[in-house]
Structure 1
Amino acid sequence: MIRVTFTAPDGQATTIEAEDGQSVMQAAVAHDIDGIVGECGGAMMCATCHCYVDAAWTARTGGPSPDEAEMLEGAAAEVDDRSRLSCQIRLGPGLYGLVVHLPEEQM
């Protein structure tokens, strides 16, 4: 199991245990995390799973692909250099303890 912490805009943190190989979006939806919608189910066809990777983790998660960066242009909340689509972050042992921050809005 991979531990992931989701931090809401108000600072409230929720930590979950996710399956190795799941995307951050799949884990969030499976645990009813408010702030991750995942409207397209992880097909990178929307930006309703936008998140901000904590600065301590950006090197390990990497940046968005060109297609992901293009999709992020449609995000409802401000996009910055930590922005990722959570459906594109695949969990594994190297991401145990990952922290992501949720945007103010998704739609």
Structure 2
Amino acid sequence: MAVINVERSSGEKQVVTATAGQSLMEALRSAGIDEVLAICGGCCSCATCHVYIDDTFLEHLPPLGATEDDLLDSLSHRTARSRLSCQIRLTEDLSGIVLRVAPEE
């Protein structure tokens, strides 16, 4: 089980529980976080699942792939903390992760 601490784009905070092995995007969508559009369904082709990961968890994430990096480059709200939630698989190490949903492009 993984715990996800989410700050929605409205500023509302929500705690989500998810199964290890599930993508972060799937967990957010299942919890009703509708701002995470995920139009491509998690295929890393649309960048509509953009989130900002808290600095304390960045080092625990897998490295950015070339496709994810290119998609993030196309966004006007990209920061050093930007990731696509479809590219992050939840693990026990990520339980407690803190993130903020990025503004819609």
Give the number of aligned pairs.
105
Taking structure 1 as the reference length, what is the TM-score of the superposition? Answer: 0.90
8 Å contact kept, 1:68–1:85:
yes
Runs (4+) of structure 1 exceeding 3 A deviation are none
**1:42 matched residue in structure 2:** 42
Ranges in structure 1 where 5+ consecutive residues have no aligned partner: none
What letter matches 1:101 in structure 2? R
Structure 2 length normalisation: TM-score? 0.91
- Partner residue of 2:91? 92
The superposition leaves residues 38-97 of structure 1 with CA deviations (integer Å, 9 ceiling, x where unpaired) of 11110001000000111111111144212110011233x510111000000100101010
Change in Cα spacing, 1:35 to 1:63, as seen in structure 2 (3 Å) is farther
- Are positions 1:82 and 2:74 aligned together? no
The aligned amino acid for 2:14 is T
| 8 A Cα contact 1:63 1:84, kept in partner | no
Amino acid at match of 2:81: R
Distance 2:18 2:86 in 1: 14
Note the C-alpha offset of 1:103. 1.3
Distance 1:29 1:9, change over 3 A: closer
User: Does the residue aligned with 2:59 lie in a helix, a strand or coil?
Assistant: helix
Secondary structure of the residue aligned to 1:26 is helix
Q: Counterparts of 2:45 and 2:103 in 1: how far apart (Å)?
A: 20
Instruction: Could you tell me which runs of 5 or more consecutive residues in structure 2 were left unpaired when the two chains were aligned.
Output: none
The percent of aligned pairs where both chains have the same amino acid is 34
Residue 11 of structure 1 deviates from its aligned partner by: 3.1
Preserved CA contact (<8 Å) 2:8 2:33: no
